[in-house]
Structure 1
Amino acid sequence: MKKNLFSVFLLFISVTVNSQRYNYYSNLELNKLTIEISSANSIGINHYTPGYSKNSDFELNTVNVGARYMFNPIIGLRADVGYMNLKNKNKSYSKDYEVQLPTFGVQGVVNASRLFNINESIGRFGLLLHAGLQISQIYSKTPDEMDKVNPTLVSRSHNTGRKENNIGIIYGISPQFRLTDKLALISDISYLNSFKQHFTWDGALSPESNNLSGKLVSYSIGLTYSLGYEVMHGDWDY
């Protein structure tokens, strides 16, 4: 975790220094604000209770809505809200489970296309890097496991109806493709590492041997739209 934080810190120091060559941004006729909507396949990596496992089938189980503001063509800030519904579809390899997660995130954004001066050569394509914090609330809808001998007794609790608040580091990479001057197709791969997550992804309590953490990966695709009176957003060249 400390290595991840240090790497992110070094990246943004580098970006801040390099972005000084774009101090003329305020004089350019480019938009700075975009809104986006996307859908994703989110997969809890660990931890799970024995008998439960991640869903290996592709499923669009997440929706995100966000806004991004670029202070200059290289560096910006992004905020988003989302909703995840993680559950198993293939009952042959996992018992039934379901957890729901509303999320809120704030992240720094780097336009890697401009940072590395490849925006002219790749044309309509673009590449964004992002990292920051995400707050989530795990709500378990997984039924408790009942004792086989005495069905009135709970053999394993899955905290049905209970909630747990979490915060974690999220980072990822977002390739883009400009469809029109203001509309772009965007995809994303993000990795979330939660701090002190007591719930497993099936809703039970995680043992201390698992370090009380949770890891999740998300693959998304969506659209971004540039707001403003100018022809094009600062992500792109004319």
Structure 2
Amino acid sequence: MKKLLFILFIASGSMVAQLNSDGFYTGKFSDGDYYENKWSGELHINSTVPVNSFSDKYKADNHNSIFSNFDVTGFSVAGRYMFNPYIGFRTTVHSENLKKSSATLPWHMQFYGAKFELVTNGSRLLNVDQYLGNFGFLLHTGLQFDYVKSKTPNTLTSFQNYNARERTIGLIYGITPQYKISKKLALQLDISGQFIFLQHFNWDGSYNTHSRLHGLSYTTSIGLSYSFGSYDSHGDWYR
């Protein structure tokens, strides 16, 4: 994770330093002919796997692998703006409904919120975009703000904070491979990790009694990206 964040921020700092007054990248695209759409909208379905933390007798059914089961747990809608062909910013709203009723005591957690991320076109950053053709990938990192709400019922022997909620903040990092279907439409697969700070609830709803109040989860999502604008295609595919 630290290496990914280092690459993202060093790369973005280097590219921002090379922007001219018109906002064009002055490196590879020295002529400033960045005549492609900069805005895009993204719609994904998500499969989120919580890793920690859980109280005793609770766990995620598929906590051992990100890809063990693709259970649809929610959706996300995002808008992305690319300042130049290398770097941009993305805002996402999302809703998740996590619950397990087999292979463990039943638990249920809901959360929704927003993400604010720096996005780097990784295929351009590594200068391999000309070899990948209709394939490419993005790197992203940023912050996630959520309302977390326990829907695990309280029992005579356990208190799961049923219907109680809290606000959390988390660090996101991930990679988004994508495939260009047409000039404006692309298929995306995203793999992200979320390191959540000050999460007082375990995923089963009980209070987190560990000295470090944090949660960890992974999300695999699949969806579409569509570019908006008067030009033929998005800047992701600019040649």
Distance between the aligned counterparts of 2:188 and 2:130, measured in 1? Answer: 18
Q: Which residue of 2 aligns with 1:231?
A: 232
Unaligned ranges ≥5, structure 1? 147-154
2:93 match: 81
* Unmatched segments (≥5 aa) in structure 2: 19-26, 63-68
Q: Which of 176, 179, 188 is the equivalent residue of 1:177?
A: 179
Q: CA deviation at 1:15?
A: 3.1
C-alpha contact (below 8 Å) 1:193/1:214 kept by paired residues: yes
Matches within 5 A, 1:1-238: 4=2, 8-9=5-6, 11-18=8-15, 20=18, 21-22=27-28, 24=30, 27-56=33-62, 57-89=69-101, 91=102, 93-146=103-156, 155-209=157-211, 211-238=212-239
Distance 1:48 1:177 in 2: 37
* Mapped contact 1:37–1:64 kept (Cα < 8 A): yes
Mapped contact 2:37–2:234 kept (Cα < 8 A): yes
- Is the CA contact (8 Å cut-off) linking 2:8 and 2:120 kept in structure 1? no
Distance in structure 2 (CA, Å) of the matches to 1:11 and 1:67: 19
Q: Alpha-carbon deviation of 1:237? A: 3.3
User: What is the identity, as a one-letter code, of the residue corresponding to 2:166?
Assistant: E
Deviates more, 1:53-62 or 1:115-124: 53-62
| Offset from partner CA, 1:87-138 (integer Å, 9 cap, x none) | 004x2x2111111000200000000111111111000001100000000111
Amino acid at match of 2:167: N
Could you tell me which amino acid in structure 2 is paired with residue 67 of structure 1? G
**Maintained 8 Å contact 1:25/1:73:** no
Q: Deviations over 1:44-92 (max 9, x none)?
A: 1000111111132431112000011000101100000000001004x2x
Q: Which deviations, in whole Å up to 9, do the C-alpha atoms of 1:183-213 show, x marking residues without a partner?
A: 000000000001111100111101134x110
Shift of 1:145: 2.2
Instruction: Name which of structure 1's ranges 65-74 and 22-31 shifts more when overlaid on structure 2.
Output: 22-31
Q: In structure 1, what is the Cα distance between the partners aligned to 2:46 and 2:31?
A: 33
Amino acid at match of 2:55: T
Q: Is the 8 A contact 1:199 1:205 kept in 2?
A: yes
Q: Is the 8 A contact 2:8 2:139 kept in 1?
A: no
Distance in 2 (alpha carbons) for counterparts of 1:32 and 1:185: 17
Check whether the contact 1:138–1:163 (CA below 8 A) recurs between aligned residues. yes
The one-letter code sitting in structure 1 at the alignment partner of 2:81 is: Y
User: Is the contact made by 2:36 and 2:238 (CA closer than 8 Å) also made in structure 1?
Assistant: no
> In structure 1, how many angstroms separate the alpha carbons of the residues matched to 2:29 and 2:135?
23
Shift of 1:10: 5.2
**Matched residue pairs, number?**
224
Q: Is the 8 A contact 1:194 1:215 kept in 2?
A: yes
Q: Is the 8 A contact 2:115 2:142 kept in 1?
A: yes
